[in-house]
Amino acid sequence: MNIIAITACPTGVAHTFMAKKKLEEAARKLGHSIKVETQGATGIEDELTKEDVAEADILILAVEVGISKKERFANIKKVEIPIATAIKNAEGLIKKIEAKLNVPAK
């Protein structure tokens, strides 16, 4: 599965990057590719490209605030979760997405 994600917390510092790390670790462990854009105090980092969006199977929005350039994701399946969910149980989240999208386990 090809996953894209955005992480953003109110201050845009610690939780934003903690969630990114947990999502990346869980996706790799489960055999999926992932690219995570962060939005926070330093602006947008690792911005998702049009190609990233076009090739993605799912967008995970682990956000606690509004995000910039949200219109890029109008035509993609998405899951919006509290950022704490990504930090505490990224693997469980991705397994639920696998089940919903009927992705075979690796």
Could you tell me the CATH number of the domain that includes residue 39? Answer: 3.40.50.2300
Instruction: Output the tens digit of pLDDT for each of the chain's 106 residues.
Output: 999 999 998 876 789 999 999 999 999 999 999 999 999 888 899 999 999 999 999 999 999 988 999 999 999 999 999 999 999 999 999 999 999 988 876 6
What's the pLDDT score for residue 41?
A: 80
pLDDT at 43: 87
Report the run of H or E that residue 93 belongs to, with start and end: helix 83-100
Under 8 Å between Cβ of 86 and 23: yes
C-alpha distance from residue 77 to each of 18, 33, 94 (Å): 24, 16, 14
Q: Which sequence positions are flagged as catalytic?
A: 9
pTM of the model: 0.93
Which of 68, 20, 76, 64 shows the shortest CA–CA distance to 44?
68
In sequence order, what are the beta bridge partners of 43?
40
User: Which pLDDT belongs to residue 105?
Assistant: 61
Name residue 85's amino acid.
Answer: T
Residue 78 lies in a domain: yes
Tally of structural domains, the chain: 1
